[in-house]
């Protein structure tokens, strides 16, 4: 396989076909080092793309200037760049002066949760959802309550109503951690769904904190990301360019308060001190000058999703979701732990159960890779699943 997929010449279909497997294997990040070289890694949220030129230039120039010190106090450069991006892409007016910068999305989410709730207070999440939600909330001594997504993969208002009621027993403070769009299902919450969430959360006095790191990754033109704070006025959102521009190595995040959320200005100085200056340099360039790169990524994702759907059929039926670069595949008919079966067949994906018990029998596969790797990955999937097919 490595001969074909790793060959030095590639047919350039989209931006994802720019790099060969051999070139990708020179990377030293988690995606390329966690598993042995004979395993195709389609698990962690990294993209197999070259870096956007404006970001390369900005970081390169900063290094050449020796601009490698601390971020300056009250530096709003990432937030300003985010505001320009958000206005253009979503028609959203980000209140730059009221934002605060944090080291990354998870640190920002946790610090916002700390402002809104105390130790022992409840935080509601909707599994299947990004596993660190649970890990970080446990670390912060919050009581975690579940309001799982419905069978249709969408917010379940009755489950939320019930969980919010339980969260507010004893008059304690409580929050809801929304994943908008949802990792791993790719669900893009609609304005109506967010409005209904806002009604229920307001009725119970539960504050909404929205993780919007995947927001730019909406490949199909018919779907539109709705910022939670535009619908729920006292919500607080976290944004970052780290997913859409593949910048996990240069992390930073912006906490954006809704018009009626007053607490973000109280984020403690240690939160701002955690920001890495080069992360801010990189993400400012991504938001301000990376539009053409992002458009190529979205075109590539749309292509890869169509390719994947065709390759999977008829063994596995999969309809691409509205957002993210993940395919959330239901493989329960083949095995209790299909990720294990696929790994044995040389393909690494995320086991669905790590996103919550609701994810059992599923796997999360990252489609942000080349057509050649995706094709080989699905060939391995077919072989591995055919070996365990019931009956």
Q: Identify which of residues 13 and 272 has a Cβ nearer to ligand PLP in the complex.
A: 272
Q: Identify which of residues 20 and 324 has a Cβ nearer to ligand PLP in the complex.
A: 324
The distance of closest approach from Cβ of residue 12 to ligand PLP in the complex, given in angstroms and rounded to an integer, is 27
x/- track of binding to ligand PLP for residues 69-88 (CB under 6 A) = --------------------
Q: Identify which of residues 106 and 311 has a Cβ nearer to ligand PLP in the complex.
A: 106
Cβ atoms of residues 207 and 116 within 8 Å: yes
Task: Compute CA 126 distance to the chain's CA centroid, rounded to the nearest angstrom.
Answer: 15
How many chain residues touch ligand PLP (CB under 6 A)? 15
Please tell me whether residue 255 binds ligand PLP under the rule CB under 6 A: no
Q: Tell me which stretch binds ligand PLP (CB under 6 A): 88-96, 241-249, 298-306, 359-367.
A: 241-249
Please tell me whether residue 256 binds ligand PLP under the rule CB under 6 A: no
Closest among 129, 42, 68 to 304, alpha carbons compared: 42
Closest among 337, 252, 241, 352 to 290, alpha carbons compared: 241
Q: Identify which of residues 17 and 212 has a Cβ nearer to ligand PLP in the complex.
A: 212
Largest CA distance in the chain: 65
Round to whole Å and give the CA distance between 105 and 95.
18
Member of 99, 126, 183, 229 binding ligand PLP (CB under 6 A): 183
Q: Three-state SS across 177-204?
A: EEECCCCCCCCCCCHHHHHHHHHHHHHH
Round to whole Å and give the CA distance between 148 and 57.
43
Member of 86, 179, 353, 374 binding ligand PLP (CB under 6 A): 179
Q: Tell me which stretch binds ligand PLP (CB under 6 A): 102-110, 144-152, 157-165, 362-370.
A: 102-110
Please tell me whether residue 288 binds ligand PLP under the rule CB under 6 A: no
Please tell me whether residue 213 binds ligand PLP under the rule CB under 6 A: yes
Please tell me whether residue 178 binds ligand PLP under the rule CB under 6 A: no
- Across the chain, the runs of DSSP E, i.e. the strands, are 40-41, 100-102, 122-125, 143-146, 174-179, 207-211, 236-239, 253-257, 326-330, 347-348, 350-351, 362-366
Cβ atoms of residues 349 and 383 within 8 Å: no
The distance of closest approach from Cβ of residue 338 to ligand PLP in the complex, given in angstroms and rounded to an integer, is 21
Q: Identify which of residues 214 and 305 has a Cβ nearer to ligand PLP in the complex.
A: 214
Member of 248, 347, 363, 377 binding ligand PLP (CB under 6 A): 248
Please tell me whether residue 105 binds ligand PLP under the rule CB under 6 A: yes
Please tell me whether residue 237 binds ligand PLP under the rule CB under 6 A: no
Member of 147, 218, 253, 288 binding ligand PLP (CB under 6 A): 253
Please tell me whether residue 55 binds ligand PLP under the rule CB under 6 A: no
Round to whole Å and give the CA distance between 335 and 390.
9
Round to whole Å and give the CA distance between 268 and 245.
28
Q: Is omega for the bond preceding 363 within 30 degrees of 0, making it cis?
A: no
- Which of helix, strand or coil describes residue 218? coil
Q: Tell me which stretch binds ligand PLP (CB under 6 A): 193-201, 223-231, 247-255, 305-313.
A: 247-255
- Which of helix, strand or coil describes residue 138? helix
Distances (CA, A) of 7 to 22, 346, 379: 7, 19, 18
x/- track of binding to ligand PLP for residues 14-53 (CB under 6 A) = -------------------------------x--------
Please tell me whether residue 374 binds ligand PLP under the rule CB under 6 A: no
Q: Identify which of residues 253 and 301 has a Cβ nearer to ligand PLP in the complex.
A: 253
Contacts of 189 (CB under 8 A, 6+ apart): 154, 155, 178, 180, 181, 182, 197, 226, 228
The distance of closest approach from Cβ of residue 108 to ligand PLP in the complex, given in angstroms and rounded to an integer, is 8
Closest among 236, 204, 226, 246 to 110, alpha carbons compared: 236
Member of 16, 85, 130, 164 binding ligand PLP (CB under 6 A): 130
Cβ atoms of residues 336 and 17 within 8 Å: no
Contacts of 96 (CB under 8 A, 6+ apart): 76, 79, 80, 83
Q: Which residues bind ligand PLP (CB under 6 A)?
A: 45, 104-106, 130, 179, 183, 211, 213, 240, 242-243, 248, 251, 253
């Amino acid at each position: 396989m490595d001969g074909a997929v790793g060959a030095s010449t590639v047919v350039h279909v989209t931006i994802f076909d720019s790099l060969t497997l051999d070139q990708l294997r020179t990377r030293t990040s988690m995606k390329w080092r966690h598993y042995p070289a004979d395993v195709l890694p389609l698990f962690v949220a990294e993209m197999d793309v070259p870096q956007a030129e404006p970001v390369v230039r900005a970081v390169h120039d900063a290094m050449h200037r020796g601009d490698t010190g601390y971020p300056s106090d009250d530096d709003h450069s990432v937030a300003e760049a985010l505001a320009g991006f958000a206005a253009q892409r979503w028609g959203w007016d980000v209140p730059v002066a009221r934002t605060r910068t944090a080291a990354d999305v998870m640190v920002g989410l946790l610090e916002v949760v700390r402002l809104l709730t105390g130790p022992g207070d409840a935080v509601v999440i909707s599994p299947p959802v990004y596993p660190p939600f649970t890990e970080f909330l446990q670390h912060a001594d919050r009581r975690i309550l579940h309001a799982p997504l419905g069978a249709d993969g969408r917010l379940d208002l009755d489950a939320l109503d019930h969980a919010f009621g339980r969260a507010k027993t004893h008059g304690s403070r409580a929050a809801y951690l929304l994943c908008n769009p949802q990792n791993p299902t790719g669900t893009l919450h609609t304005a109506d769904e967010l409005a209904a969430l806002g009604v229920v959360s307001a009725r119970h006095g539960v504050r909404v904190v929205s993780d919007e790191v995947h927001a730019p990754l909406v490949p199909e033109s018919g779907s539109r990301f709705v910022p939670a704070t535009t619908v729920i006025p006292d919500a607080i959102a976290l944004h970052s360019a780290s997913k859409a521009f593949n910048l996990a190595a240069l992390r930073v995040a912006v906490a954006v308060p809704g018009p009626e959320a007053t607490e973000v200005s109280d984020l403690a100085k240690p939160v701002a001190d955690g920001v890495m200056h080069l992360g801010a340099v990189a993400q400012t360039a991504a938001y301000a000058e990376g539009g053409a790169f992002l458009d190529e990524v979205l075109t590539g994702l749309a292509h890869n999703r169509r390719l994947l759907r065709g390759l999977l059929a008829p063994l596995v039926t999969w309809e691409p979701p509205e957002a993210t670069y993940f395919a959330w595949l239901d493989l329960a008919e083949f095995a209790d732990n299909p990720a294990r079966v696929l790994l044995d067949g040389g393909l690494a994906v995320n086991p669905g159960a790590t996103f919550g018990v609701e994810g059992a029998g599923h796997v999360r596969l990252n489609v942000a890779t080349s057509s050649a790797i995706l094709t080989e990955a699905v060939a391995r999937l077919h072989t591995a699943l055919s070996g365990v097919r019931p009956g």
